[in-house]
Each structure stands twice: as structure tokens, then as C-alpha cells.
């Protein structure tokens, strides 16, 4: 009897065990909509199977789409969205029909199907822009939680896809899938993915009409653009909420601008920050840094900033100095300052575990470092073999970190900070970063590293920026970061990481910079010359030529640090002498190349006012500083196909030389007429031209009708007050406008109206050219003369008036020149 009982109970427990499974997986696709409600500009739809869709109209051109399951905890928290972004009151029409709902603004209409909650977007004329294929999907399980949220959309043949921040790939992303997971991608190759930063935003172009999608989700995200050639695109995340913004165009540039307005823009940089920067891993000891500085001045190669890479620290302890190598940093830095050099130093996130090191002990005592779920600190190797990592997602930690900069800024007179390794990078392990279980505060929404990984670098940059601003309040900050996330453009400039000195990497530097720029991130550049390996003299000069058109213009190389983490030993100072063939300064390739490189860098300094004006438009309106040609004319198939030539600001088209040995370059010029900057020759648009490109020259073209400001070349941006501003006036066939933005180039007075925005208007008639200038703001420039070079006049003028007063005409080299004061209003050349 007892045996029977035992038998029975064993059977039943077997049966019970059979019932149990390793996990319970649930998959959700929305069913029929059964209910809906509206609260102001927010609409909520409910399906029979618990899916909830929330549509929020932020302005006529930005609509936020979110999916939840009934019962989910909802939060509006976002690191990406600019805290200053404000929704507007919008006139909305809401219609319910048999099979659908329609929500419309003046420019966009969003249709939601009742049957399966698909979301489609149309323009005001009723043209389809972007349609769901299967729409929303979510997979979750009891053991793992939400593991995938996804939206699938149609990818009609011919649709193109741009953006996605940093991908080492050509402009149109169609045919590929990409992932966002910030990764230390040392010596990455073309096509390698993911890279250092995540910007889950793309612009789509459907039949000449552009729209944008921004997936505001910090988990690992994945984007597929018709990868399976089934005309389907999708975006998904490994957790969290499906929360995306649909951004209207209709132009690609407008999509980028709206995305930048949604996620924020930086403030104006100081002018010196867009001068030439010289970096390497690493300049030491002090004597070498001083020698470097004096060589720039001796060789008359303009330069505004020098960098100290990790070796200036005491055994890689952040916020310390190696006193053997730099016995008196404050003195060295102020001497450099006198010579016109700003000094920028590196700060990494990894804090050396060391009981005698206050940064570590303070962080540990205050529990500022990231921990595992049970409270144990995560300790991992980066430069020091044992590091703790501040949890930058905690406001107190950011404050503490920001204050650590006080000594660097106030005592040592450092002008800029370079944050690196903040993916966060971890050496030696395959994952290259923290385990996913590491915990983060996330502004009071505690979470795991799965959710915080992609914004770790961004929050480090934020902490740094806030500290720099606090401890150097009168100066504009300069901060450079490697890792980042959408919206991080508010805090720091970035460079494209550890590239290679190869011709393909020159191409990639071009493609990556354009892509980042249209993804909200204009303050960007590559390591000029390549970080890994050495460039040939030719490659180096070509790289410089490309980079004078990149907002961040920095030469950087890993030099002789061939095996990565060499500790600072005194002998290395000697060792480097033997290895100076790995140097990459503009003068190391021989005199012929030094002259070429000097004139390239000088050209950058000539163009600084133009770049600064483009910066103003970026800061003001979110307009990307550099743009692929397709953004100039998205109806032009040839321009859309172009990967190399690009727009620099609104008026310059750059046709970089990216091939070894090339002496000429084939360039397609889109709509309009274009002047070759070098010769002043006028070329027709909508045509391909073969133009000369000897190594000493970079072909670039100025749009007819442009007023191009040219600055005096100086050895550094603030060397002296300029005496003169030149304006190249490129006569066009139709009336055109142009702009020049000026301010003190430092400090914040420009925010109180101490700036000057000059708008030029060019009117061209058969026998006359009229240039009018109108101005806004109270800033008075320092120069007292404006010299206008009139290029491409189609008639021979015999009279010139400047503000009504007759002047004699001067012709120089086929160009008429006109002298005026900085406040001139009207110049007329006529016959």
C-alpha cells in the first residue's frame, strides 16, 4: 500500500516535471483595434490582444509612435531628446472610418488600420511616404523579459536609406543590416559593424520625398534596409519600448535639421577649435612638446591646438600628471598659450584601483562606481589593469566627475578635454565591454548595462562638459569624445576612432564624416593621416586636403605604441628618438610635401569664416555642415549615386582626390553653375567634368551667386586682429543670397546680441551687378577693410559705386576688386 502511494507520488512529480518548460515565450502582434481615446495631441489605440499604440503629435512634422502592452509601466524619460525641445500646439484633424483612423497635421497624415494596427504616413497631397509592412512585434519570455521589439516597414524598390550615425559604408544603406552597440573597433575595416557610437536614426527617400525615423531606444538596436531583397525594412531593439519618431521632410536636409532640433545641437565652438589640431600617442616629455610647438611656428604651419595623450598621466591615473615627464605642467601650458597653442588632454573613464589614489578612494567611498547586481564593483582592465568605472548615469557622479576637472582647467590652464575609451572599452575579453548584468542608476530608472551601454559615453561626455563649463565659465568649452549616442552632439565633438593609414580609409573618413553630419553630428572629423600604420607622403597630403573640409581637423597617429598598452617608462623617451620615422607631423615627409601641406592648412584658415558661418547655421537650425551630394538635389539620380563629392556648407562642393596616383578627378556637378575655386573657371551643372588635381591642389567648386568670405591666414586663429576680410563674389545668372556670421569667436557675449549676421543679396542684370548687405546684431568686427573680388562678370563694367559714392574700378588678374568698409550697404558695378 505504502509502496503504491510512493509510486503514485513519484509518477505525479514526473508528470509535473513534464509540464514544466525552460521558459515561457510570448509573441505579440497587434490584433483588431477595439477602443481609442484622445488627450490633447496624444491618441491611444487599444487592440483586442492588449497592444496599446500611442501617437503623440509634437509639431506638424514630428510624430512620436509608441507601443506598449496593457499593464506596462510607462516612462517618458529619454537621454536623446533635447530638454529644450518643445512640442507645439498643432491643428489636428482626426477622422474615424470603417477600416481606419486618420490623424492629420498641415503637412503629414498618419493612417492607422483597424484590423491589425498598421501605421502608414502620407504627405498633405495624399502621397504615400512610408508604410508598415507587418508593423509592430514584441517577443518576451518569463526568464528573459522583453528580448525583441520590432517594426517592419515596406521598402519599395528604389527607396534609399541614409544616416545611422557611424557606419563604415557607402551613403545609401539599402541592401544591408546594421547594429548599434558602442564598440572599441580598433583598426576597423570597411563594412565592420558596430563601431564606436550609436545613432538609431535614418532618413528614407521615397520617390523624391524624404522622411526620417528615430528609434529612441538605448538597447542594442538593429536596422535592416531590404537586406533580404524582399522590399522590407525593419528596426528593432533587444529590450525596452518601441518608441520612434516619424520626421517629415520633404527634403533630406530638412529631415536632418528636424532630427537635430529634436535631439539638440551644441553651442558655438570657440574659433580655435576649428583650426588645425596636432595630436599623437603621445607627445612627451615636456621638451618634446615645446619642440613641437616651436617647429610649427618656425615652419610657419598654422596650428591652434596640441594634445597630450594618456602618457602625460601618472601610470594612467586620470586627473594626475607624470611629474618626471612634465615637472611643471602649468608653466608649460601657459608658455604654449603665449605661442598661440591651446592644450587638450585626454581623460578616460577607467579609474585605477589604488588605495592611495584619491579619485579612486573617493569614488569607492561614495559608491560612484558601477556595480554588479549584488553590489560588488565591476573591476576590469583598460589602461591600468584594474579599473573601476564611474556610473555617469547618476547626476551626483556627473557632478563629482565634473569637479575633478577644476585643477586641469583653473590651475593648469588646459583649454580642451578629450574623452576616450568610453564605449566603455574593456581590454582582454571578447565582449570588449561590461557584462550585461552591470547596474546603472539611469537618472532614477535603475537598469542593467543592456540598457545603459550605448549612452555610457554620452553621459561621460555630459559630465565632462558640465564640469568644463562650471570651472571655465567664461570660455567656450571644447570636448572631444569617442563613444556617443543620438543627442550627444549637444555635449562634444567626435572623431571616427582608430582608423588606418590606407587609401580605403581615406574614403571611409569621407563617408563616415558625411554620414555623421547628416545624423545630427556635424562637429566631426577623422584622424588625419590614419591612426594605425603610416601614410605615404601622398596619402597624407590627400588626407589633409579632405580634412580641411571637416569641422574637426586633427592629425593623429598611434606612432610607436605598436603593442597597445605600453607603460610609461623613462627609457621610452630615448626609444622614441630611434623611432621618429613614425612621426606624422605635416613636415616629416620632406620639403616638397611640407610646402604642399602648409598651403593646404593655410587654405583651411582662409575658409574659417565660411566654416564658422556654416557652424552658426548648424547651431541655429541644425543644418548639417557637410552633406552628401544627394542632399543638395534629391531629385537628381546622379547626385544621389555620388559617394565621394560632398557639400561643405551651402555653397561649396568638394571633389576630394581619394585614389593613389590620381592627377585628375572626375566630378559630377549638380544643378546650377559652379566656379572652380582655383582658376575661377565657370562650369556647367548637371554634367560630369574631368578636372585637374595635381597633388598640391584640391578641386572644389563654389556655387555661382555665392559671396565667399576669406580670412587672413594666421599662424593661429587669434594671432592678431585681422586688417582685412576678403569677399569673393561669384557672379551668378540669377539672384542669390549668402551669409556671414561673426562674433568674438570666444565667450558668450554672442548670446546677448554681440554677433553680426550679414546677409548678402546679389542682383544680376544684363549690365549691372548689385551687392547689398544687411546686418543683424551689434558686433563690430576688428578689420577695417573689406576687399571684394568680383569673379565671372559677364559684362565689362565702367562704373562702380560703393554706398552711392563713385570709385575707380580696379582689375587684377581678370577680376575686378572693390574696397569697402565693413559696414557697406550697397555696391553697384554697371556699364
CB of 346 to ligand GLC, least distance (A): 6
Verify whether residue 735 is a known catalytic residue: no
Cβ at position 454, least distance to ligand GLC in Å: 18
Specify the residue, 137 or 383, whose C-beta has the smaller distance to ligand GLC.
383
Please say which residue, 63 or 421, places its beta carbon nearer to ligand GLC. 421
Euclidean distance between CA atoms 533 and 488, whole angstroms: 30
C-beta separation of 507 from 659 below 8 A? no
Chain-centre distance of CA 494, in angstroms? 6
Confirm whether 798 is a catalytic residue: no
Least spacing, CB of residue 544 vs ligand GLC, in Å: 18
CA proximity to 283, closest of 250, 322, 244, 251: 322
Q: In sequence order, what DSSP letters do the residues of 111-159 get, joined into one string?
A: EEETTT--EEEEETTS-EEEEEEEEEEEEEETTTEEEEEEEEEE--TT-
Contact 473, 751 (CB under 8 A): no
User: Which C-beta is closer to ligand GLC: that of 65 or that of 168?
Assistant: 168
Q: Which of 558, 604, 758, 700 is nearest to 272 (CA)?
A: 604
Q: Which long-range CB contacts under 8 A does 120-123 form with residues at least 24 apart?
A: 121/63, 121/211, 121/246, 123/209, 123/248, 123/250
C-alpha grid cell, residue 702 = 563654389
Distance from C-alpha of 48 to C-alpha of 424, rounded to nearest angstrom: 43
Q: Residue 731 and residue 735: Cα distance in Å, rounded?
A: 9
Angle at 536 between CA 530 and CA 538, to 5 degrees: 100
Q: How far is CA 97 from CA 33, 122, 279, 492, 616, in A?
A: 12, 17, 63, 48, 46
Q: State the DSSP string of 317-346.
A: BTT---TTT-S-HHHHHHHHHHTT-EEEEE
- Look up residue 73 and give its three cell numbers: 509601466
User: What cell was used for 554?
Assistant: 586633427
Cα 249 to Cα 109, 113, 632, 634, 649, distances in angstroms: 13, 23, 14, 11, 19
Nearer to ligand GLC by Cβ, of 166 and 420: the residue is 420
The nearest distance, CB 425 to ligand GLC, in angstroms, is 8
Residue 281: CB minimum distance to ligand GLC, A: 4
- The residue (of 495 and 605) whose beta carbon lies closer to ligand GLC is 495
Residue 333's DSSP bridge partners are none
> What grid cell was written down for 337?
598659450
Which of 482/756 has CB closer to ligand GLC? 482
Pair 539, 557: CB distance under 8 Å: no
**Positive or negative torsion for Cα 530, 548, 285, 355:** negative
Q: Provide φ and ψ at 773, rounded to 5°.
A: -125, 130
DSSP per-residue letters across 400-434: HHHHHTHIIIIIS---EEEE-STTT--SSSTT-S-
553 grid coordinates? 581637423
Q: Please, are residues 679 and 628 in contact by the beta-carbon 8 Å criterion?
A: no
Strands 305-308 and 232-237: unpaired
Catalytic residue among 304, 498, 745, 746: 498
CB 769 within 8 A of CB 793: yes
> In the bound complex, what is the minimum distance in angstroms from residue 550's beta carbon to ligand GLC?
16
SS3 (DSSP) at 583: coil
Q: Partners of 790 in the beta sheet? A: 729, 816
CA–CA distance, 220 with 436 (Å, rounded to integer) = 11
**Residue 452 neighbours by CB under 8 Å, 6+ apart:** 218, 393, 440, 442
Q: Does the N-terminal peptide bond of residue 177 adopt cis geometry, omega within 30 degrees of 0?
A: no
Q: Which is nearer to ligand GLC, 288 or 475 (CB)?
A: 288
* Cβ-based nearer residue to ligand GLC, 142 or 429: 429
Question: In the bound complex, what is the minimum distance in angstroms from residue 732's beta carbon to ligand GLC?
Answer: 43
CA distance linking residue 584 with residue 587, whole number of Å? 8
Catalytic residue among 226, 257, 423, 650: 423
| Contact (Cβ atoms closer than 8 angstroms) between residue 279 and residue 309 | yes
Place of cell 501605421: 119
498 is an active site residue: yes
Cβ closer to ligand GLC: 498 or 511?
A: 498
CA distance linking residue 667 with residue 665, whole number of Å: 6
Side-chain-side CA neighbours of residue 438 (13 Å): 22
Number of residue whose CB is nearest ligand GLC: 281
Residue ranges binding ligand GLC (CB under 6 A): 281, 309-310, 346, 420, 482, 497-498, 556, 558
Quick check: 815 and 790 in contact, CB under 8 A?
A: yes
Q: What is the largest CA-CA distance in the chain?
A: 126
Active-site residue numbers? Answer: 420, 423, 498
Amino acid at each position: 500500500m505504502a509502496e503504491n502511494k510512493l509510486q503514485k507520488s513519484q509518477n505525479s512529480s514526473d508528470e509535473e516535471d513534464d509540464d514544466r518548460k525552460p521558459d515561457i515565450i510570448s509573441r505579440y502582434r497587434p490584433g483588431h483595434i477595439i477602443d481609442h481615446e484622445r488627450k490633447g495631441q496624444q491618441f491611444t489605440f487599444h487592440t483586442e490582444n492588449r497592444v496599446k499604440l500611442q501617437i503623440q503629435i509634437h509639431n506638424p512634422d514630428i510624430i512620436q509612435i509608441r507601443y506598449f502592452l496593457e499593464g506596462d509601466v510607462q516612462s517618458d524619460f529619454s537621454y536623446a531628446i533635447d530638454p529644450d525641445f518643445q512640442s507645439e500646439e498643432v491643428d489636428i484633424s482626426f477622422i474615424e472610418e470603417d477600416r481606419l483612423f486618420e490623424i492629420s497635421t498641415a503637412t503629414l497624415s498618419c493612417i492607422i488600420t483597424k484590423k491589425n494596427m498598421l501605421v502608414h504616413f502620407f504627405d498633405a497631397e495624399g502621397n504615400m511616404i512610408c508604410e508598415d509592412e507587418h508593423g509592430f512585434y514584441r517577443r518576451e519570455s518569463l526568464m528573459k523579459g522583453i528580448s525583441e521589439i520590432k517594426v517592419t516597414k515596406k521598402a519599395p524598390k528604389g527607396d534609399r536609406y541614409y544616416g545611422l550615425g557611424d557606419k563604415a559604408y557607402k551613403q545609401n544603406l539599402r541592401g544591408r543590416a546594421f547594429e548599434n552597440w558602442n564598440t572599441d573597433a580598433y583598426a576597423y575595416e570597411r563594412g565592420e559593424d558596430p563601431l564606436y557610437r550609436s545613432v538609431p536614426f535614418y532618413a528614407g527617400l521615397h520617390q523624391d520625398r524624404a522622411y526620417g525615423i528615430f528609434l529612441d531606444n538605448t538597447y542594442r538596436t538593429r536596422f535592416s534596409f531590404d537586406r533580404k531583397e524582399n522590399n522590407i525594412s525593419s528596426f528593432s531593439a533587444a529590450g525596452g519600448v518601441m518608441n520612434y519618431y516619424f520626421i517629415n521632410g520633404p527634403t533630406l536636409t530638412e529631415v536632418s535639421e528636424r532630427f537635430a532640433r529634436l535631439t539638440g545641437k551644441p553651442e558655438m565652438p570657440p574659433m580655435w577649435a576649428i583650426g588645425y589640431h596636432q595630436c599623437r600617442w603621445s607627445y612627451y616629455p615636456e621638451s618634446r612638446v615645446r619642440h613641437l610647438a616651436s617647429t610649427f611656428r618656425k615652419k610657419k604651419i598654422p596650428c591652434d591646438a596640441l594634445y597630450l595623450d594618456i602618457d602625460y598621466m601618472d601610470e594612467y591615473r586620470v586627473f594626475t600628471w607624470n611629474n618626471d615627464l612634465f615637472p611643471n605642467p602649468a608653466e608649460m601650458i601657459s608658455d604654449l598659450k603665449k605661442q598661440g597653442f591651446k592644450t587638450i588632454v585626454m581623460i578616460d573613464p577607467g579609474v585605477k584601483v589604488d588605495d592611495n589614489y584619491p579619485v579612486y578612494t573617493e569614488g569607492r567611498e561614495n559608491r560612484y562606481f558601477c556595480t554588479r547586481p549584488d553590489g560588488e564593483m565591476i573591476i576590469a582592465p583598460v589602461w591600468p589593469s584594474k579599473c573601476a568605472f564611474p556610473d555617469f548615469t547618476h547626476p551626483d557622479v556627473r557632478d563629482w566627475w565634473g569637479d575633478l576637472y577644476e585643477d586641469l582647467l583653473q590651475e593648469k590652464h588646459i583649454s580642451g578635454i578629450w574623452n576616450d575609451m568610453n564605449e566603455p572599452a574593456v581590454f582582454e575579453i571578447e565582449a570588449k565591454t561590461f557584462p550585461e548584468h552591470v547596474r546603472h542608476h539611469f537618472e532614477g530608472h535603475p537598469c542593467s548595462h543592456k540598457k545603459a551601454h550605448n549612452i555610457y559615453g554620452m553621459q561621460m561626455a555630459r559630465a565632462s562638459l558640465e564640469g568644463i563649463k562650471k570651472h571655465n565659465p567664461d570660455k567656450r568649452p571644447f570636448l572631444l569624445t569617442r563613444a556617443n549616442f543620438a543627442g550627444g552632439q549637444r555635449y562634444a565633438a567626435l572623431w571616427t576612432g582608430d582608423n588606418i593609414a590606407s587609401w580605403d580609409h581615406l574614403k571611409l573618413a569621407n563617408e563616415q564624416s558625411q554620414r555623421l553630419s547628416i545624423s545630427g553630428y556635424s562637429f566631426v572629423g577623422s584622424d588625419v593621416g590614419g591612426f594605425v600604420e603610416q601614410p605615404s607622403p601622398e596619402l597624407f597630403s590627400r588626407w589633409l586636403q579632405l580634412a580641411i573640409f571637416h569641422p574637426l581637423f586633427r592629425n593623429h597617429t598611434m606612432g610607436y605604441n605598436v603593442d597597445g598598452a605600453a607603460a610609461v617608462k623613462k627609457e621610452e623617451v630615448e626609444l622614441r628618438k630611434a623611432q621618429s620615422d613614425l612621426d606624422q607631423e605635416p613636415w616629416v615627409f620632406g620639403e616638397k610635401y611640407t610646402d604642399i601641406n602648409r598651403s593646404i592648412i593655410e587654405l583651411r584658415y582662409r575658409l574659417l569664416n565660411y566654416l564658422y558661418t556654416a557652424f552658426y547655421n548648424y547651431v541655429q537650425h541644425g543644418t548639417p555642415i557637410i552633406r552628401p551630394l544627394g542632399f543638395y538635389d534629391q531629385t537628381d539620380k546622379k547626385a544621389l549615386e555620388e559617394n565621394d563629392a560632398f557639400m561643405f556648407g551651402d555653397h561649396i562642393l568638394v571633389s576630394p582626390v581619394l585614389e593613389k596616383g590620381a592627377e585628375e578627378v572626375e566630378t559630377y556637378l549638380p544643378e546650377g553653375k559652379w566656379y572652380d575655386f582655383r582658376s575661377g573657371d565657370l562650369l556647367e551643372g548637371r554634367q560630369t567634368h574631368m578636372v585637374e588635381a595635381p597633388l598640391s591642389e584640391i578641386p572644389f567648386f563654389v556655387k555661382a551667386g555665392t559671396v565667399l568670405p576669406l580670412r587672413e591666414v594666421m599662424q593661429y586663429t587669434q594671432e592678431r586682429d585681422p586688417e582685412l576680410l576678403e569677399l569673393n563674389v561669384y557672379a551668378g545668372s540669377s539672384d542669390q543670397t549668402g551669409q556671414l556670421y561673426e562674433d568674438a569667436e570666444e565667450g558668450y557675449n554672442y548670446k546677448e546680441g554681440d554677433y553680426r549676421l550679414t546677409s548678402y543679396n546679389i542682383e544680376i542684370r544684363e549690365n549691372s551687378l548689385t551687392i547689398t548687405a544687411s546686418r543683424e546684431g551689434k558686433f563690430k568686427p576688428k578689420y577695417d577693410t573689406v576687399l571684394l573680388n568680383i569673379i565671372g562678370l559677364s559684362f565689362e563694367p565702367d562704373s562702380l559705386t560703393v554706398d552711392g559714392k563713385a570709385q575707380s574700378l580696379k582689375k587684377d588678374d581678370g577680376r575686378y576688386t572693390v574696397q569697402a568698409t565693413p559696414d557697406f550697404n550697397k555696391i553697384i558695378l554697371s556699364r
